[in-house]
């Protein structure tokens, strides 16, 4: 075997081995490698952070406020509009509270946050997980549902 052939084969082996890397790219991926039986349970697991949750809360609050103001300008019952505005404010404060709890949990554990949904017929659950070293170190569950009903908010755990 010539030196050129050996170098070619060696470099080919290096290139091929790098195409099949087993490097874990995220905490969620490591979690599913450690717990493959959990893969079926999680309908959704998306990376997030507290800032993203805050921005969503801000956007939803603005939308809800504009919607209530539009109803007010159409001459709808002012008391009903005020109820809508109060409810929008209450939801906004709850969503900001979730963002604060998420931030605190991430800081305390040093883990990565993921928005998750579990669908186990007839029940489901949604919220946030904090994963570190492939293990769930904290869970902020905020919605649960049964029999495919509309999800209802529940208190944070």
Between the alpha carbon of residue 98 and those of residues 76, 85, 90, the distances in Å are 32, 20, 13
Q: Which of 51, 47, 13 is nearest to 27 (CA)?
A: 47
38 belongs to a structural domain? yes
pTM confidence score: 0.68
Interval 2-15 mean pLDDT:
59
2 belongs to a structural domain? no
CB atoms within 10 A of CB 139: 15
8 belongs to a structural domain? no
Q: Which residue has the higher pLDDT, 94 or 141?
A: 94
- Containing H/E element for 149? none
Parent domain of 35: 24-153
55 belongs to a structural domain? yes
Return the pLDDT at 7: 56
Domain count, the chain: 1
Q: By three-state DSSP, how is residue 74 classified?
A: coil
Interval 95-110 mean pLDDT:
91
Q: Which residue has the higher pLDDT, 132 or 60?
A: 132
**Cis preceding linkage at 122, omega within 30:** yes
116 belongs to a structural domain? yes
10 belongs to a structural domain? no
- Looking at the chain, list the stretches that DSSP marks H as alpha helix, in order from N- to C-terminal side: 3-19, 27-34, 50-73, 78-109
14 belongs to a structural domain? no
pLDDT in tens, 29-73: 999 999 999 988 888 899 998 888 889 888 888 988 888 888 889
Burial of 113: CB neighbours in 10 Å, binned 0-12, 13-18, 19+: buried
96 belongs to a structural domain? yes
Return the pLDDT at 153: 44
Work out the angle at residue 127's Cα, subtended by the Cα atoms of residues 102 and 27, and round it to the nearest 5 degrees. Answer: 70
């Amino acid at each position: 075997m010539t030196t050129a052939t050996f170098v070619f084969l060696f470099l080919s082996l290096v290139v091929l081995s790098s195409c099949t890397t087993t490097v874990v790219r995220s905490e969620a991926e490591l979690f599913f490698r450690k717990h493959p039986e959990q893969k079926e349970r999680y309908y959704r697991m998306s990376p997030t952070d507290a800032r993203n949750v805050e921005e969503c809360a801000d956007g939803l609050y603005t939308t809800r406020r504009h919607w209530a103001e539009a109803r007010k300008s159409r001459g709808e019952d002012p008391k009903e509009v005020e109820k809508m505005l109060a409810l929008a404010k209450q939801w906004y404060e709850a969503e900001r509270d979730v963002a604060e709890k998420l931030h605190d949990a991430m800081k305390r554990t040093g883990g990565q946050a993921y928005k998750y949904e579990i669908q186990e017929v007839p029940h489901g659950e949604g919220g946030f997980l904090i994963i570190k070293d492939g293990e769930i170190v904290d869970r902020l569950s905020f919605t649960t549902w049964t029999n495919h009903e509309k999800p209802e908010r529940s208190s944070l755990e």
